[in-house]
Each structure stands twice: as C-alpha cells, then as structure tokens.
Structure 1
Amino acid sequence: MGLFRNDPQRVRIETRDVELTATRAPWSLWADGFGKLGIRAIQIIVVVAVAAGIIFAIQQLTLVTIPLVIALILACAFTPVMSWMRRRGVPSVLATIITLLAIVIILGLLGWLIVWAVRDQWDDLYTQAEDGFQHLLAWVQTLPFDFLQPEQIDEWIGQLTDFVTSAQFGSGAIAGVSAVANFVTGFVLMVTILFFFLKDGPQMWEFLLRPFRGENYRRARRIGDKTVSTLGSYVRGTATVAAVDAIGILIGLLILQVPLAIPLAVLVFLLAFIPIVGATVAGILAALVALVANGWVNALFVVGVVVLVNQLEGNFLQPFLMGRSMKLHAFVILVALTVGTVLGGIVGAVLAVPIAAAIWGVIQVWDGPDTPARWARAKAPVEAG
C-alpha cells in the first residue's frame, strides 16, 4: 500500500473525483456568473419588498406618520431656540412650553391670515376666476386650428354640473367633513408629539443609540446631528425665503394695483415650500389675475416682478441662508416631489425635499465629519498622457 501513497496519478484521480463531486453539488449552480446574478436579483427583490411594505404601512397610518414627521421637522427647526434657553438656565419644561406656544401661535396666525384673506375677497376671487375662464375660452376659439370645439366645451361643463349635483359629490362633501376631523386629530397629535420632541428629544435619541458601539455609535451620532441641522436649516431658510418672496411680490402687486394682492402673497408664501413647482404656480396665478383685471401689459409686469424676485432668491438669498451644500440638483428635487406627491399628496410634496436633503446630508457624513460614503465621493481628475 505504501507504494501508491505518493503516486502522482492517484493524486490527480482523487482531485478530479473531488472536483466532480463539488460540481455536482446543488450550491455549485450559484458559483458562476448567472448564479451571482440570481443572488443579486433575489437581494433586490427582498429590498424592494421591504421598502414596499414600509411604504404601504406609512400610507395606511398617515394619521400618525405625517404628524410624526412634521413634529420632527419643527423640533429640528426650533432646536437652537431650545438650546439657547437651556444654556441660560430656563427649565426644560418651561422652555418647551414657551417654544410650543410660539409654534402654535405662528401656525394659528398663518391659518387665520389665509382664512381671512380668502373669506374677505372670495367673491372677487370667484368672479376673477370665472372671467379668466371665459377669456381663456374666447382666446382658444380664435386660434387658427380647431383645438377645442364649442360642443366639446359645453359637454365638459355639463359633466361638471352633473357631478356637482350628483350623489357622488355629496359623498365627497361628507368625505371632506371626515378630512377636517382627521386634520384636527392629526394637529392635536402633532402638537403632543412635538412637546415630547422638544422636551426630551436628546434623551430619546441617546436611548435609541444604546445598542451601538465604537465606530457604529460615532456614525449614528453624526447621522443624528446632521439630520437635525439639515432639517432645521432647511425649514428656517425656506420660511425666511418664502416670507421675503411673499413680501416682494406683494409690494409689486400693490404697486401694479393688481386685485387680490394679499391672498396671492399668502399663496406665494405657502407654495414656496414646494421648490420649483410652487414658484411657477404662484407666478401663473398672479399673472392670470392681472391679465383679467388689468390687461396684457400689467400681466407682463407681474411676470417680470415674479421672475425678478425668484432670481434674487435663488442666486443671493437662498445660498446665503441655506448654504450651497444643502442645495439639491433640480432633477433630484423633481423626482422627490413626484414621489412625495404620489405617496402623500400635497403634504408629501412639502415634506419630500427636506427629507431628501436630510438623506443627502447623512450620506455626506457617513464615513466621517467631512467624509462622504465611499460611493458618493468625487473622483480625482484623470491626467491625460
């Protein structure tokens, strides 16, 4: 037997038998290129399924998730105020109550201003809208091609009238009452959650960080600090920019004697929280009102005022208040707005951009205070030759 112990031919035979046995094993199918592709596909399916489940749960629990997110963003925005009062010896409960009352008063005054502006000039707004619609129809009929036929317009108006007088519209009105009840419930829940975020936010975050150790703990701390600073800076900067936009456009509308100047200015302030799309919609509405009330020349001046204010905001005010590092690409903003609108409607459109900015901020500190994640780092330029 010892004669065959070191026989090279026998060693080759045994090695071949082992390789054949390994290749016949079921798991060997996953070792080639198609196997790796299959593993990646399964991983992607699992990630997509988990994300879809999370999104479905959020959509089913919007009465809880939306107040929770809004409270988190407001708490981040007012974190400097809470820190300033705590450094000066103000008790945490008293500082929380003062800050919370300030937030509720600001939101209440804004809501009252909107209701007052719309209610006080609702008849004029309705008349202007109706006149604008009639002007639009008259202009369409003067076009050299048959874009819309009068019979088709009458059919659309009839369908709209039938819908308003139908039971479906009545059920929609009942749903509107339910929406008001949900809004009140969500607002109370948001105020309650905001109270605890303002009072015990740092302690809550420390509790969530208890399972982490070493570098994972330091990374989690960076993520939390960056999220708070990004959301807070975004909200404070956007609110300031929106106020400046509203005041600038209000002054322009008053100088040009455009009716409904105050409601339009309030609308400009609100729509400023929806980047790109909001400013465009506000400018179009202001120009339409000026067109119907004062004519083409006045409408062009209104467009000029809106463009001038938006340019000053985008090139000077916004970079100064929010910083270039928080400025997302327009494509990213549009994608975030689309996803947010599909998932959460108007509220989703408002929250989509600050959440996207916070995610990008987290990526920027993933591997260090000033070190982005490896895949997000800029590549060094390649020298020719």
Structure 2
Amino acid sequence: MAPREDTTAVGLRRQYKYKGNIWADSLGRTAIRSAQVLLILTVAVVVIYALLQIRLLVIPVLIALILAAAIGPFVNMLRRRGWRGGLATGVAFLALLVLLAGVITIIVVSVRSQWDELIGQAAAGLDELENFLLTGPFPLDREQLDQARASVVEFAQSSQVRSGAVTGLSVVAEFLAGASLMIVILFFFLKDGAKIWDFFLRPFKGPREQKLRRVGKRTMEVLGGYVRGTAVVALVDTVAIGAVLLILQVPLAIPLAIIVFIGAFIPLVGATVAGVLAALVALVANGPIVALIVVAVVIAVNQLEGDLLQPIVMGKSLQLHALVILMALTAGTILAGIIGAVLAVPLAAVAWAIVQVWTAEDPDLEPMNPDLPPPNSQPT
C-alpha cells in the first residue's frame, strides 16, 4: 500500500504551479483569447483606414474585378470557339464598354432633363403625406414630425456623410481619374487575370495553394453570378414597375423606372426607396388610390424578387441572411457612401464564400486529401 502523501505538500505544489503559470486557468485562457480578438480588430481597423486613404485606387480595382468576373464567361466562350486570347479579350472588352456607355447615356438622358420636376413632385408628395399624418384618422404630433425631420437632416449633414462627398471640380476630376484607371485595370484583368493570380500564389505550395486556387475560382463565380443576377433582377423590376406606372398614367414614368433599375443594385433598400419615390409622385399627380396601387405593386415585385428571382438567377452567389446584407450596406455606406453601398454586398458574399472554401464547408468543392500531391506535380 502506497504511503499517503502529505496534503500540505500537495497544496503547496498546486499553489506553486498556479503562481508559475497564471495563463493556464480559465481566466488566463479567456484573457489570451480576448487579446487575440483585440489584435485582429486592431489590424482590421488599420487595414480599412489605409484602404480608405487610397480609395481612388481601391474602388476602381474592385469595380474592374467585379466587371471582369461578370464578363469572364463570355471571354472563355470566345476562346473555346477558337478565337485567339488577345482578340477574344479585345472584343469582350469593347462590347462591355459599349454596353456601359449605352446604359449610362440612357440614364443621363432619361433622368437629367426631368430631374428638377421629379424632385418637385417628390417634395410635394412628402408635404401631402405629412399633412395626412397630421390630420388623418391617427394624427401625429407636429413636434414628433419635426424631430424626425431634424434627425434626417442632421444625419444628411453629418461629418460621416460629408466625409465621402466631394463637390465641384474635384469630384469630376476624381470620377474621370477613377473611370480611366478602372478601364485600364479591367483590360488587364480580362487579358492576364489568371497570370496575375498565379503570380500571387507563387509563395504557396501544396494544400494551401490548392485552397487559394479554389478561393480565386469561387470569388470569380460569386462576383460574376451576383452582377449578372442583379442585372436580370433590376431589369425585371424596371419593366414591371415601369409598365404599371405607364398604365396608371403616372407622370415621369420613364425616369422613375430608370431610378428603380439603379436602385436594384443596392439590395433590400434600393428598389424599395425608388418605389416610394414613385408612390410620392403618384400621390401628387393621381391621388391616394393610385399611390396605394403603386405601393402594392412595389411590394409584390419585391416579394417576387426575393422568393423567386434571386434564388433562380443568382443561385448560390448570394447566400447571405437579410440581417447580414443590411449590416454590410450600413457599413459600406458609412465608409464610402453610395459606392460603398453598391460594393458592400458582393464583397460580403465573397468573404462568406472564402470562409466556406477555407473551412471546407462549400458543398460545390470536392474534399481535399492532404496526402495527395498538389496539381501538376511530377511523381518522384
């Protein structure tokens, strides 16, 4: 029978062990994890701040990458049909530029000439809506409306919103510089996108290289699917709501339909805000009944879009919860204004796709065996 150990000695050893390694208990492990989280957040804040300082470069790169992902399948189709790489790239590049120029021209011509009238109609609609809220069956207090209006004005004039806005000549110069840079970057992405990605993957070997290649492939699939799907959804929204506005003889139907098309590229809120604008114009010009019909049509189109169109045309390119989309939109708007709101959702979708690939949770990917040699390796 083993001799019984002195309890005093056991207690002293435990006390010494605890004093010698204060990070071994639950509190120490929690402190280590908290420090790691704080370090990651600090790095993320520094990176975001640095990117915002060079947003004139970052935004054109992101837009070029999204457009390259959208038109990439067309370039590959031309190459499979026997077109040489440079010719296929040039044809696709010029076709995309012509398409973008045509869309921008239609938007400018349709909206610019009637913009003042549109703003006036919307302001009159807001006044009528305010009058209804003050004198309707459930009247609100004037002070409450004034406070709500003051809050909106204060937000619109806040430093966060103004920080991303530049007025006058500088905004024109910044736009032209960014557009020119985007066009050049887009051409090289279409021409040498695979070579550029291979260059960044040179330091990696084995399973890590395989995962990064899957990340690149999945990123282009998500971005391309998102852009093409959003364009289809925007076109359907524009045709449906524009047709209803024309049938109901709502003034400014064509500019309102164009605004719906633009707003559809901002998920959740874009098309809804455009529909509210159309309802305000209908309220002034056609009365409350027509305005309610417009609201009902906008709600029906949004439901059709969310339940049928997006799952079909986007597939798995936008597997994000509505709350995540809303948070991404808010963060993007705060950081980079309207451009941030447009880019936030596809970037969030790409981030989630990367997480799925890196953790092997993407069902579209084949399981990776770490014992197998990397692709294109020669047997020894």
Under TM normalisation by the shorter chain, which class is it? 0.7 to 0.9
Give the percent of matched residue pairs that are identical in Structure 1 and Structure 2.
Answer: 50
Cα offset, 1:87, TM superposition: 1.5
Q: Deviations 1:234-254 (Å, cap 9, x if unpaired)?
A: 110111110111011111111
User: Structure 2 CA distance, aligned partners of 1:19 and 1:33?
Assistant: 16
Which runs of 4 or more aligned residues in structure 1 lie more than 4 Å from their structure 2 counterparts after TM superposition? 12-25, 143-146
Cα offset, 1:14, TM superposition: 11
Structure 2: 5+ residue stretches without partners: 158-163, 366-380
Task: Choose from 218, 230, 235 the match for 2:227.
Answer: 235
Flag the 1:206–1:146 CA change in 2: closer, same or farther, 3 A.
closer
Compute the TM-score of the two structures, normalised by the length of structure 1.
0.81
Task: Choose from 324, 329, 350 the match for 1:332.
Answer: 324
Partner of 2:265: 273
Q: Deviations 1:114-158 (Å, cap 9, x if unpaired)?
A: 211123323432442343244245435535767227xx79x98xx
| Aligned 1:124-139 pairs, distance under 5 A | 124-139=117-132
CA contact (8 A) 1:256 1:298 kept: yes
CA contact (8 A) 1:290 1:298 kept: yes
User: Structure 2 CA distance, aligned partners of 1:71 and 1:255?
Assistant: 39
Q: Deviations 1:169-196 (Å, cap 9, x if unpaired)?
A: xxx9983321121111111111111111
Question: Could you say which structure has the higher helix fraction?
Answer: 1
User: Structure 2 CA distance, aligned partners of 1:16 and 1:296?
Assistant: 82
User: Structure 2 CA distance, aligned partners of 1:20 and 1:128?
Assistant: 78
User: Structure 2 CA distance, aligned partners of 1:275 and 1:240?
Assistant: 13
Flag the 1:173–1:371 CA change in 2: closer, same or farther, 3 A.
closer
Task: Choose from 276, 287, 296 the match for 1:284.
Answer: 276
Flag the 1:90–1:29 CA change in 2: closer, same or farther, 3 A.
same
Partner of 1:3: none
Flag the 1:93–1:33 CA change in 2: closer, same or farther, 3 A.
same
Partner of 1:258: 250
Indicate yes or no: 2:70 matched with 1:63.
no
CA contact (8 A) 2:237 2:261 kept: yes
CA contact (8 A) 1:234 1:322 kept: yes
Letter in 2 for 1:104: L
User: Structure 2 CA distance, aligned partners of 1:122 and 1:357?
Assistant: 34
Deviation larger for 55-64 or 304-313: 304-313
Indicate yes or no: 2:172 matched with 1:180.
yes
Specify the SS of the correspondent of 1:117.
helix
User: Structure 2 CA distance, aligned partners of 1:20 and 1:267?
Assistant: 71
CA contact (8 A) 2:66 2:227 kept: yes
Task: Choose from 55, 69, 88 the match for 1:76.
Answer: 69
Task: Choose from 323, 341, 358 the match for 1:366.
Answer: 358
Flag the 1:371–1:198 CA change in 2: closer, same or farther, 3 A.
closer
Partner of 1:104: 97
User: Structure 2 CA distance, aligned partners of 1:325 and 1:224?
Assistant: 14
Flag the 1:13–1:285 CA change in 2: closer, same or farther, 3 A.
closer
Indicate yes or no: 2:289 matched with 1:297.
yes
Indicate yes or no: 2:112 matched with 1:119.
yes
Q: Deviations 1:233-282 (Å, cap 9, x if unpaired)?
A: 11101111101110111111111101111111111111111111112101
Structure 1: 5+ residue stretches without partners: 1-7, 164-171, 373-385
Compute the TM-score of the two structures, normalised by the length of structure 2.
0.82
Indicate yes or no: 2:209 matched with 1:217.
yes
Partner of 2:141: 147
Cα offset, 1:53, TM superposition: 0.3
CA contact (8 A) 1:326 1:361 kept: no
Flag the 1:218–1:293 CA change in 2: closer, same or farther, 3 A.
same
Specify the SS of the correspondent of 2:168.
helix
Larger Rg: 1
CA contact (8 A) 2:219 2:353 kept: yes
Flag the 1:35–1:138 CA change in 2: closer, same or farther, 3 A.
closer
Flag the 1:40–1:130 CA change in 2: closer, same or farther, 3 A.
closer
Partner of 2:314: 322
Cα offset, 1:22, TM superposition: 5.8
Flag the 1:207–1:182 CA change in 2: closer, same or farther, 3 A.
same
User: Structure 1 CA distance, aligned partners of 2:249 and 2:18?
Assistant: 84
RMSD (Å) for aligned C-alpha atoms: 3.2
Count of matched residue positions in the alignment of Structure 1 and Structure 2: 348
CA contact (8 A) 2:222 2:317 kept: no
User: Structure 2 CA distance, aligned partners of 1:232 and 1:290?
Assistant: 36
